[in-house]
Amino acid sequence: MDGGKRIRVLVIDPQGEAGSEIATLIAPFGYEAIVCDAPEDARAAIARAQPAHVLLRLRADSDDREVVRRTATATAAAVAEAEPRPSLVFIADDSSVPARIAAVRAGADAYLTPPLNGLSLVDRLDGLRGALEAEPYRIMIVDDDALMARYHAELLQSAGMTVEVVEDPYTVMRHLADFRPELILMDHYMPDIQGSELAAVIRQEAAFDSIPIVFLSAEDDAETQDRMMATGGDDFLTKSIKPQHLVSAIANRTRRFRALRATMLRDSLTGLLNHTATKEQLDADIARMKRAEQPLTLCMLDLDHFKQVNDAHGHPAGDRVLRALAHLLKQRLRASDVVGRFGGEEFAIAMPNTTPRQAARVVDEIRESFSALRQTGETGAFSVTFSAGLASYPKAEDAAALTEAADRALYRAKAAGRNRIVIAEAEDYPASAGAPAAVAV
């Protein structure tokens, strides 16, 4: 199991002082800083390091404003030529509007002023990286006409979307659970079943109730279209639609769905899945692992003595601790892992295709990194640790039994002195839990 690849950041600093400071700030969050102290070498350094971000340090005490301007312009040009293009961040002492406008004109994606805070810096870098590396929209096409389905799939794929085609409408529920689309593009007239009927079936499942369903049909009568959509459709497109209009219509509706879903499913403080969304995703992943006959490990993680953190250092400091841990989890774990805030200071991590021992190695690395972080609060710097319990499917057959076993292992980690990882033992699993012999963990 891969614990996560470190993200490279190139720091360009003519005075060579910012690199070590920035490296220290961002290293615990999965970032690696590479320093270049000669701006004229920026192009070669970018080609060699292939960073996700380029940070250019500009100081107010520089001898010549023209030198600053040329340095900024040359760095921006090197960034613009890179493939893939990294984000460009200016770190400058001058916080004036004219300086910021000059940065925008030079091509900067962000403008920061010292002193730098590790969590705030990583927040900004994460945001820029997310904008550059947003996951493709996931579109499911339901159409019994294989030729037409492939045509529409190729159109959407050429626009950068991930597409799954379902030609047999009676298998759509299985595909929905596995593929988890963000929009369904559905032919209305299919043999034995109409799109509006299939839409009504999909809407019967709470997990799929909010997914946009767009009908695609030759039907051009407005009243008929309205009747079709009354059973669960969100939009209606005619098959005469121009390719570019189809792509933009699908992209716009999927973008709105993604934004709305993020608001509904994400914890506002940490950006992780909330309690309900985490449980739903865990159910879906267990079902998927059951079909694939693969293991899944659930980690229940809880911060140690968190009430004391809030009492001694203030609630804003406690919030920063939660956000720092969320950053580490998101950056050190795989995209396929489910990471959620389960309660106040409790987190849940579902790791498909992973045994408890594999998961324990990764979580323990995160534990060590997190405990080494220097947190700041009203009374100064401090550190925080966490404890975790691990349990696995198929030793536990469903999400409830899996969560109970992981919770018991977490309790044992706390009782043993905290700041440790404990794997559930046989007695931690509910009595009814059993494991199919075909799947080993």
Q: What is the CATH number of domain 275-428?
A: 3.30.70.270
Evaluate whether the domain defined by 7-132 bears CATH number 3.40.50.2300: yes
Higher model confidence: residue 411 or residue 24? 411
| 438 pLDDT tier (thresholds 50, 70, 90) | very low
- CA distance linking residue 426 with residue 31, whole number of Å: 38
Does position 28 have pLDDT exceeding 90, yes or no?
no
Does position 363 have pLDDT exceeding 90, yes or no?
yes
Shared fold status for 7-132 and 138-264: yes
pLDDT in tens, 374-406: 888 878 889 999 999 999 999 998 999 999 999
- CA distance linking residue 115 with residue 427, whole number of Å: 51
- CA distance linking residue 11 with residue 33, whole number of Å: 7
Mean of pLDDT values over 357-371: 95
- CA distance linking residue 293 with residue 150, whole number of Å: 31
Domain ranges of the chain: 7-132, 138-264, 275-428
- CA distance linking residue 256 with residue 261, whole number of Å: 8
Candidates 196, 100, 74, 221; CA nearest to 142 is: 196
pLDDT in tens, 167-178: 999 999 989 988
Whether residue 112 contacts residue 121, with contact meaning beta carbons closer than 8 Å, is answered with yes
pLDDT in tens, 86-114: 999 999 888 889 889 988 888 899 999 98
Q: Is the dihedral of CA 33, 37, 39, 44 positive or negative?
A: negative
52 bridge partner residues: none
Predicted local confidence at residue 207, as pLDDT: 78
Strand positions, DSSP E, 125-239: 138-142, 162-166, 183-187, 189-190, 193-194, 213-217, 235-238
| 2 pLDDT tier (thresholds 50, 70, 90) | very low
Mean pLDDT (the chain) is 86
Structural domain 138-264, CATH architecture: 3-Layer(aba) Sandwich (3.40)
Higher model confidence: residue 15 or residue 409? 409
Share of the chain above pLDDT 70, in %: 91
Predicted local confidence at residue 5, as pLDDT: 66
Question: What's the pTM value of the predicted model, to 2 decimals?
Answer: 0.60
